[in-house]
Chain A
Amino acid sequence: DVKVTQSSRYLVKRTGEKVFLECVQDMDHENMFWYRQDPGLGLRLIYFSYDVKMKEKGDIPEGYSVSREKKERFSLILESASTNQTSMYLCASSSLRYEQYFGPGTRLTVT
């Protein structure tokens, strides 16, 4: 079974803090993705990576950066957290096939 884990299930941060969300997959997948999910807006792609040290902007990259130093690990960084970044963050991975496998999600609250 594919396993995608995320570092925290729930996180509370203050405005202006730097926030790190980490994702690890154990299936040697080439591709990894970060999404945020908000009521009424669905899943929106923030960034994705198709190889180590490679990254591509998704639909809403502003205010976020990513890092992929190892194949199994993909980090999402909020450089200076703001209240409008309060959301559910989901990591996913995929191989050369198309289906993506998701982690359990991190519910981030910025106060």
Chain B
Amino acid sequence: QKEVEQDPGPLSVPEGAIVSLNCTYSNSAFQYFMWYRQYSRKGPELLMYTYSSGNKEDGRFTAQVDKSSKYISLFIRDSQPSDSATYLCAMSTYGNNRLAFGKGNQVVVIP
């Protein structure tokens, strides 16, 4: 079983829709959770960072962590064509500098 599982997509949505992305993981020691956005032929950029369980909101983006289910989610409200990218989840345990990444989920927002 892979440590982090992420559906690769692609996920196509109309402009203005809510985009829902998720990752599941197997290591219950993960405490630090990140979402990255990667445009084509560019490096990943950090989008959201959360610690332990709960929700975090930043503008149109909401990150959720459910440690009991080993499940994290990213929601994008009022999606825009500029949100078309690959979204990667990443996570780490306490004291570990390495991140475990999902393979990424491609999102296409259709105008």
CA of A73 to CA of B92 in the docked complex: distance in angstroms? Answer: 24
- What count of chain B residues pass the 8 Å CB interface test? 22
Q: Determine if B97 and A42 form an interchain contact, defined as CB atoms under 8 angstroms apart.
A: no
Q: Is A24 an interface residue (CB 8 A)?
A: no
Residues of chain B within 8 A (CB-CB) of A104 are: 42-43
B contact patch SS: loop
Question: Contact flags (1/0) for A69-98 with B, using CB distance below 8 Å?
Answer: 000000000000000000010100010001
Tally the A-B contacts, defined by beta carbons under 8 Å.
48
**Whose C-beta in chain B lies nearest to the C-beta of A35?**
B101
- What count of chain A residues pass the 8 Å CB interface test? 22
Interface locus among A13-21, A43-51, A60-68: A43-51
Q: Which residues of B contact A (CB under 8 A)?
A: 8, 32, 34, 36, 41-46, 49, 88, 90, 92, 96-99, 101-104
